[in-house]
């Protein structure tokens, strides 16, 4: 179910994950979380970074690597074809600026 507060980037990610799950099959989520467990050292290292963009982007990159390691998905290529960054995580559901209208920039910055 889609919520009105979700923004476009969240919807793109959700759609791509749905496609990947259908393409990969029922082991999609268990296999993904196995990859996450295998990346625990990298995740712990990223969590030692100061709070903010650098930490969030490092965790995002690790997550993408875990999805990309799943057979038959080529997840990073799918993101690139959809215009989604491979390096910058968009902080989408918790806007920091007033005037947010579910676009990538607040009205005050357009």
Phi, psi at 13, each rounded to 5°: -60, -45
Is there a domain that residue 69 lies in?
A: yes
Is there a domain that residue 56 lies in?
A: yes
Going from the C-alpha of 72 to that of each of 21, 64, 77, 103, 106, the distances in angstroms are 11, 15, 11, 32, 37
Asked if residues 100 and 50 have their Cβ atoms less than 8 Å apart, the reply is no
Give how far the C-alpha of residue 17 lies from the chain's centroid of Cα atoms, to the nearest Å: 10
Task: Say what the pTM is.
Answer: 0.73
Which residue has better confidence, 86 or 29? 29
Is there a domain that residue 41 lies in?
A: yes
Lowest mean pLDDT among 21-35, 64-78, 80-94: 80-94
Is there a domain that residue 62 lies in?
A: yes
Please give the residue range of the domain that contains residue 58. Answer: 9-87
What is the CA angle 57-62-68, rounded to 5?
A: 125
Task: Give the per-residue pLDDT at 4.
Answer: 44
Coil, helix or strand at residue 52: coil
Structurally, the chain folds into a number of domains equal to 1
């Amino acid at each position: 179910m889609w919520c009105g507060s979700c923004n476009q980037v969240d919807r793109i990610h959700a759609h791509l994950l749905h496609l990947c799950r259908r393409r990969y099959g029922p082991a999609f989520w268990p296999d993904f979380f196995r990859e996450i467990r295998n990346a625990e050292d990298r995740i712990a290292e990223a969590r030692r970074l100061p709070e903010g963009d650098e930490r969030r982007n490092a965790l995002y990159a690790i997550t993408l690597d875990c999805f990309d390691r799943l057979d038959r998905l080529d997840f990073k290529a799918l993101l690139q074809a959809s215009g989604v960054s491979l390096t910058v995580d968009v902080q989408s559901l918790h806007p920091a600026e007033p005037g947010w209208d579910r676009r990538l920039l607040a009205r005050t910055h357009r």
